[in-house]
């Protein structure tokens, strides 16, 4: 029994929101690292959702519509028209924080001085630009991390595939995307760790990862702790919790092109 | 009737709701209130409580319309699932545990017209009617009563593993029969 079939039935219960206790905790831990099971969970949630359609009965009382419309009138809203957001939790929250900020700003501007409306328009424009940029970043990440992405390594014929990694690092944003393939599997409780090697000083940890069953790796780290001007990267094998400084010799090393 | 009703898509109506259009909200209510109310009533068995769920679901949509992502599925199914989760929370007298942001329903039945809704409902009911009664019971107890597999097993006197297997097989049967 492989690890996915082990969780297959629990996934169905989890999709219905009826898994509990240790089984729930264990599955949630597994889901953090298993895109295949996350995809299956989404499918199962869709399957379960169909059950709702089997509910039938009479229409709600007419007063319910009036009650809703009255409630809407009591809660008028300033327009929040904006592009629909892909569902990535912390980004979505960031979008809502920005949206909430825009609403608060709008309220203050309206109350204090209508002449400030041009300032509001500028803020709204900036907000929209940020949303566009955010959406683009989400699309890039979604492509890189999609569970159904096709990854192809092209090599000369009759060559043994070698581990190969590519890091895309933007110092001004402290953001990093690392892709690799043909990475050998590691013993239990060991993981690879990516390091930024500055021209002086200690190596800086940039992410701990394990390859999937086919040796592929996608590591997205958009929040490196500090800006480092470097073009040199190294990979070492570390305990699976990661290390603050390398504890073994690099097995892969690369410098910017 | 259907062509007029369906002339405006869910996506367009949600877009108008985002802009604060109360009439668009009314149109979505007219489209999906019956389904949402039916789900609430099925779970709670009480018309007043089902009406509260109905109100809560549509107010959530009004307050947070951007939480619905049209690229990920049907609005009708989305609001029905929110209704189910809210009703289960009310049934078990617990705080709302299900953040609507967590609800992703990647299922595509087009429910914008009354005919679409009736057809989809009939398909699901036909599938459930054709299911083995024990399997249907397990799936419905989990979905409409919010019972854990432990509770279902205790209630009907079957082993835990059997209940788990029946629930998963039931969901997969729905997928096989109803998803393209």
Positions in chain A whose pLDDT score sits under 50: 1, 80-93, 109, 115
Whether residues B98 and B18 share a domain: the answer is yes
Are the beta carbons of B109 and A53 separated by less than 8 Å? yes
Let me know if residue A91 belongs to a domain: yes
Asked if residue B91 and residue B157 are part of one domain, the reply reads: no
The answer to the question of residue A106 being in a domain is yes
Do residue A187 and residue A109 come from a single domain?
Answer: no
Domain end (from B109, B143, B166): B109
Give all strands of the β-sheet with A175-181 in edge-to-edge order. Answer: A164-170, A175-181, A217-221
Out of B59, B72, B172, whose CB is closest to A87? B72
Q: Which of B71, B77, B98 comes nearest A52 by C-beta?
A: B77
Q: Of B78, B109, B140, which residue is a domain's last?
A: B109
The answer to whether position A249 is within a domain reads yes
B40 and B99 share one domain = yes
Of B113 and B136, more confident: B136
Q: Which of A105-109, A163-167, B134-138, B166-170 bottoms out in mean pLDDT, i.e. has the lowest? A: A105-109
* Within a domain: A150: no
Q: Are residues A87 and A140 in the same domain?
A: yes
Do the domain assignments include residue B116?
Answer: no
Domain count for chain A, please give it: 3
Provide the pLDDT for residue B38.
95
User: Which SS3 state, helix, strand or coil, does residue A195 take?
Assistant: strand
* B55 and B85 belong to one structural domain: yes
* Domain-embedded: residue A69: no
Nearest to A17, CA basis, from B91, B84, B95: B84
User: Do residues A167 and A219 touch, judged by C-beta distance below 8 A?
Assistant: no
Is the pLDDT at B14 greater than 50? The verdict is: yes
Distance from CA of B7 to the nearest CA of A (A): 21
Residues B89 and B171 in one domain: no
Question: Mean pLDDT, to the nearest integer, of B103-122?
Answer: 70
Range in A93-97, A135-139, B90-94, B173-177 with the lowest mean pLDDT: A93-97
Closest chain B C-alpha to A189 CA, distance in angstroms: 31
Given an 8 Å threshold on Cβ–Cβ distance, is A79 in contact with B83?
A: no
Mean of pLDDT over chain A: 77
Q: Give me the domain span that covers residue B73.
A: 2-109
Count of structural domains, chain B: 2
Predicted pLDDT at B136: 95
Does residue B94 come out as left (phi exceeding 0), alpha (psi in the -120 to 50 range) or beta?
beta
How far is the C-alpha of A98 from the C-alpha of B64, rounded, in Å? 14
Q: Residue B23: closest CA among chain A residues belongs to which residue? A: A69
Q: How far apart are CA B167 and CA A103, in angstroms?
A: 45
Q: Which domain holds residue A182?
A: 164-255
pLDDT at A216: 87
- Does B43 or B65 have the greater pLDDT score? B43
Mutate to test the interface with B, among A13, A52, A68 (most CBs of B within 10 A): A52
Q: Are A173 and A248 members of one domain? A: yes
Q: What is the pLDDT of residue A89?
A: 43
Q: Tell me, what's the pLDDT at B4?
A: 46
pLDDT of residue B3: 45
Looking at the structure, do residues B18 and B105 belong to the same domain, yes or no? yes
Task: Tell me the pLDDT of chain B averaged across its residues.
Answer: 84
* Burial grade of A7 (CB within 10 A; 0-12, 13-18, 19 or more): buried
Examine the domain organization and report whether A125 and A177 are in the same domain: no
Does B99 share its domain with B137?
Answer: no
Which residues in A177-212 are b (16+ Cβ under 10 Å) and which e? bbbbbbbeeeeeeebbbbbbbeeeeebbbbbbbebb
Cross-chain Cβ contact B77/A8 below 8 Å: no
pLDDT in tens, A49-102: 889 989 988 899 999 999 999 999 888 765 544 444 334 444 444 555 565 555
On whether residue A131 sits in a domain, the answer given is yes
Write the residue in B26, B68, B105 that is nearest to A49 by C-beta: B105
From chain A, the residues in CB contact with B29 under 8 A are: 65, 68
Is residue A57, in this structure, part of any structural domain at all? no
* Same-domain check for residues A87 and A134: yes
Has residue B123 been placed in a domain? no
Question: What CATH number is associated with residue B160?
Answer: 1.10.10.10
- Do A25 and A100 lie in a common domain? no
Residue B71's pLDDT is what?
64
A28 and A83 fall within a common domain: no
Whether residue A231 lies inside any domain: the answer is: yes
**What does the pLDDT read at residue B121?**
86
């Amino acid at each position: 029994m492989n690890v996915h079939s082990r969780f297959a039935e629990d996934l169905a219960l989890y999709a219905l929101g009826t898994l509990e206790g240790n089984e729930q905790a264990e599955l949630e831990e597994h889901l953090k690292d298993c895109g295949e099971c996350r995809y299956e969970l989404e499918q199962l949630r869709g399957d379960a959702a169909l059950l709702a359609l089997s509910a039938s009965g009479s229409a709600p009382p007419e007063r319910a519509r009036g009650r809703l419309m009255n409630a809407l009138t009591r809660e008028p809203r300033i327009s929040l028209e904006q592009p629909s957001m892909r569902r990535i939790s912390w980004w979505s929250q960031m979008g809502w924080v920005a949206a909430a900020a825009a609403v608060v700003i709008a309220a203050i501007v309206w109350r204090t001085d209508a002449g400030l409306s041009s300032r509001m328009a500028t803020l709204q424009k900036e907000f929209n630009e940020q949303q566009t940029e955010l959406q683009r970043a989400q699309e890039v990440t979604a492509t890189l991390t999609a569970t159904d992405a096709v990854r192809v390594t092209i090599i000369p014929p009759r060559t043994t595939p070698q581990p190969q990694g590519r890091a895309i690092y933007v110092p001004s944003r402290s953001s990093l995307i690392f892709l690799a393939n043909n990475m050998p599997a590691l013993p239990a409780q060991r993981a690879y760790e990516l390091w930024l090697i500055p021209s002086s000083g200690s190596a800086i940890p940039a992410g701990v990862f394990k390859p999937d069953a086919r040796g592929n790796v996608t590591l997205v780290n958009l929040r490196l702790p500090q800006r480092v001007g470097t073009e040199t990267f190294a990979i070492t094998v570390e305990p699976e919790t990661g290390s603050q400084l390398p504890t073994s010799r690099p097995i892969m090393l690369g410098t910017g092109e | 009737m259907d062509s007029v009703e369906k002339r405006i898509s869910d996506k367009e109506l949600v877009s108008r709701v985002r802009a604060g259009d109360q009439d668009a909200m009314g149109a979505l209510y007219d489209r999906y209130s019956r389904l949402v109310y039916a789900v609430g009533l099925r779970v709670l068995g009480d018309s007043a409580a089902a009406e509260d769920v109905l109100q809560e679901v549509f107010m959530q949509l009004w307050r947070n319309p951007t939480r619905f992502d049209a690229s990920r599925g049907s609005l009708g199914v989305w609001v029905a699932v929110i209704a189910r989760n809210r009703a289960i929370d009310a049934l078990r007298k617990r705080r709302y545990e299900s953040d609507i942001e967590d609800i992703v329903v990647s299922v595509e039945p087009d429910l914008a017209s009354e005919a679409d809704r009736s057809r989809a409902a009939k398909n699901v009911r036909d599938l459930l009617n054709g299911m083995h009664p024990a399997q249907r019971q397990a799936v419905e107890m989990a979905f409409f009563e919010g019972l854990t597999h432990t509770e279902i097993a205790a209630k009907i006197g079957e082993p835990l593993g059997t209940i788990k297997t029946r629930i998963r097989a039931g969901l997969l049967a729905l997928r096989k029969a109803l998803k393209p």
